[in-house]
Chains A and B, each alone.
Chain A
């Protein structure tokens, strides 16, 4: 284990002018800098997507509200969904993968550094294209500006007959271009993990974070490619006279649905598996115990990846599939609950008998466990297809998937931010602001998304810009909106914490959490070359072995 940095005699590090510094960042191929760029771009889009969510919530605060026009409202929910999935969740998770995977396997960079930079800039360009639609979307027709076809752009609404101008072209191009970026990064992650592990790091000694990112990257290859194909087919329809999805010329609207959801459902697992990865690193460290059932965790992850490839049509229970298809997709969807349940039990098993330290990363992790449990159980409800005939396309489903994405993914991400920020910057995030952030966000989250299930049960469909009074939806929607603003406040506390701590936070040192994986063996922030000498590992917890030579893990594996 080597924690000393290389010092070259006679060289002094001088502060460079900011133009040089900027140039360094824009042309970097360093996996750590690219990881941070991914994360920063995701934070930028998170703020934008969050404002869009607030506009949606203000409009729905009470019935017959006129805060925005129907056209603007439809753009807001389309942009909110597209932004949050493609330009917040994916990039931020790729950012963490980029930053952490090489460090955790004792590598000096990703396998293809230039591809890495190319992929990041592609996906960032995708985000810029999406937002350029506000300026360029109306095209020559003066129709629309930003896309307003929903984040899944169901055919034939995305056809030229129903979506003239260029608004949905920007949506198509943004998703297509960022999709190429995702595929590039996925290839890179797989190659890095398979080829660049340090001596001794066998597959069954990799940290679970690395395992789960390997599985995630594999899923990206299988899921994003059909989406890219569908986007190209849609472009052919719109500009070259194709009729894949053009129902007026005999095309198939259902074909688009299949293409979209064979991406769309694995996508949920592409997002949640890296979050499982965060949990599998953070919960053990703050429980002071190794992960419970490492081989089972790996097997469950691989199992989720396989089964989740065969569940996509549960998004289509209402489209009139026959009873056999509905039964099949009910079964596969419920079956995913088994490996997912195993994971929750294993995390609880990790805490069991431990000495839990309630630092901010652990608070967010416990929040994750609680909310992900509920999200999984409402998932079982909508997996029962007849129940889904009522709940699908209603606010219940909106509440369910926000429970997964906010209550699960975002909580896990916050845990990851608090846990690895010291490694990335050399400074600790403020625990005091962190606790404010956690409790405010928790309260806001539950106010919004617990309550949001009920209007769905009371028959409120999603994607409506207004609703009739007297349906019993008004009070509920007001509460939901209040919760949204509390969440927004919590996010401001978080952003403030990121900025203030960068300048004034406590020095982190190499290993502030007394953790066990390789990234904590080197300085914070790590030097450009990561490891002065490539480490050799003998177990899943190399730093535990180092700290407890009398009782190393390698004795039991």
Chain B
């Protein structure tokens, strides 16, 4: 913020208020002491777009804070100083109708403030929205579905769901991720607060956003645009991996599904029921597109778009009765026999 640099007082104020805010935030944000995942605090940015937004926010907070203090003091002063007293009863105060000079002052000063705020804002808008896509960028197509996320990496040939993996970006050698945002049904919004502001996924209206995380770890977020019954449980996990980890993950995802002879019964149940109409498992007959790709299901930490941990019991419950975990989910209860259910769950558990 060049405006901040010009005045050390303003800078000091900015830092003080920012620190106060941050400490307040951390107090509130401190849930269970889990080193990962990261929280969802917009004032704890880990990527350039989120960082420039946080910086701009501090400038806006400082200016509005000063306006607040000035007007608040005027208001309190006039209420206290000019309160009616018993000795004045029956007498009217001097009748003042206005003052052109004062009116001009409190018109022109706000106009100047608006100009400053607007210029600072326009710079950040341009810097974030019009950033060119460098050659080394990772491209991901994000497709919003009721109520889950599909992630496709067109250059890498990967299809996955709900848990986005992207590489950490070293400022000296940036590898940002550029997302193309599409929707298969209603409007959604991709929001991972510590990585970037949100952008909507709208059918027939492709959008774009980018992020260049500078810290590894899990970043949480969720759908921010109301998209239907289970909008609340359309959660997002972004795993920011180191370069090696990311390469390993890419290789693993590119492979076909593991074929495990021990799970052949479950695979048969999967392929002879409606499962395969909606779900795909690469290298098999299942190529449905309505639900998440299950080729590497066990590489994901959660199921049902983050609504539950990916454990044996949860998987079983989910297949048996999705509404027990996520009422309103579009996955139907499959009404399988216990034997079939166990078989299908064992099959799922081989899809690493």
Chain A residues with CB under 8 Å of chain B are 69-71, 74, 148, 150, 154-157, 162, 247-248, 250-254, 287-290, 292-296, 318-320, 322-323, 326-327, 330-331, 334-335, 337-338, 341-342, 344-346, 348-349, 351-358, 366, 369-370, 373-374, 377-378, 380-381, 384-394, 454, 457-472, 475-476, 548, 551, 553, 556
B107 part of interface (Cβ distance < 8 Å): yes
A393–B91 alpha-carbon span in the complex (Å): 52
- The closest CB in chain B to the CB of A469 belongs to B31
Task: Given A253-B203, A370-B72, A389-B197, check contact A288 B93 (CB 8 Å).
Answer: yes
B29 part of interface (Cβ distance < 8 Å): yes
Taking residues whose C-beta sits less than 8 angstroms from the other chain, chain B's interface range is: 35 or more
A295–B42 alpha-carbon span in the complex (Å): 43
Task: Given A69-B327, A162-B185, check contact A330 B82 (CB 8 Å).
Answer: no
Known: A157-B227, A366-B75, A458-B25. 18 other contacts (CB 8 A): A162-B228, A318-B200, A319-B207, A320-B200, A323-B130, A327-B121, A352-B78, A370-B72, A373-B72, A390-B197, A394-B224, A458-B40, A459-B191, A461-B189, A461-B224, A467-B232, A472-B30, A472-B31
- B117 to A384, Cβ gap below 8 A? yes
- List chain A residues, Cβ under 8 A from B232: 70, 463-467
A132–B200 alpha-carbon span in the complex (Å): 33
B348 part of interface (Cβ distance < 8 Å): no
B39 part of interface (Cβ distance < 8 Å): yes
- The closest CB in chain A to the CB of B32 belongs to A470
A208–B251 alpha-carbon span in the complex (Å): 71
- B224 to A386, Cβ gap below 8 A? no
Q: Which of B34, B110, B225 contacts A337 (CB 8 A)?
A: B110
Interface centre among B60, B226, B227, B233 (most CB of A within 10 A): B226
- List chain A residues, Cβ under 8 A from B106: 341-342, 345
- List chain A residues, Cβ under 8 A from B75: 348, 366, 369-370, 373
A496–B61 alpha-carbon span in the complex (Å): 41
B111 part of interface (Cβ distance < 8 Å): yes
B277 part of interface (Cβ distance < 8 Å): no
- A355 to B125, Cβ gap below 8 A? no
CB distance from B19 to the nearest CB of A (A): 15
CB distance from B14 to the nearest CB of A (A): 15
- B224 to A387, Cβ gap below 8 A? no
Question: What 10 A-B pairs are tightest by C-beta distance, nearest first?
Answer: A389-B197, A459-B40, A464-B232, A320-B207, A247-B203, A293-B98, A470-B31, A355-B84, A472-B29, A377-B64
Q: Among B51-59, B137-145, B150-158, B293-301, which stretch is in contact with chain A?
A: B51-59
Chain B interface, DSSP helix/strand/loop, else mixed: mixed
- A355 to B224, Cβ gap below 8 A? no
- List chain B residues, Cβ under 8 A from A380: 60, 63-64, 117
- List chain B residues, Cβ under 8 A from A551: 95
- A384 to B205, Cβ gap below 8 A? no
Task: Given A292-B96, A334-B114, A334-B117, check contact A386 B205 (CB 8 Å).
Answer: no
A290–B228 alpha-carbon span in the complex (Å): 52
CB distance from A494 to the nearest CB of B (A): 23
- A252 to B199, Cβ gap below 8 A? no
- List chain A residues, Cβ under 8 A from B328: 70-71
B8 part of interface (Cβ distance < 8 Å): no
- B125 to A393, Cβ gap below 8 A? no
Task: Given A353-B93, A387-B56, A470-B31, check contact A366 B205 (CB 8 Å).
Answer: no
A394–B196 alpha-carbon span in the complex (Å): 14
- List chain B residues, Cβ under 8 A from A354: 82, 93
Interface centre among A156, A354, A556 (most CB of B within 10 A): A354
In the complex, per-residue mask of B209-242: 1 if CB is within 8 Å of any chain A CB, else 0: 0000000000011111111111111010000000
Q: Which of A288, A457, A556 contacts B92 (CB 8 A)?
A: A288
CB distance from A303 to the nearest CB of B (A): 10
Task: Given A342-B103, A393-B224, check contact A355 B93 (CB 8 Å).
Answer: yes
- A381 to B121, Cβ gap below 8 A? no
- A461 to B79, Cβ gap below 8 A? no
- The closest CB in chain A to the CB of B233 belongs to A466
Task: Given A250-B204, A348-B75, A386-B125, check contact A458 B39 (CB 8 Å).
Answer: yes
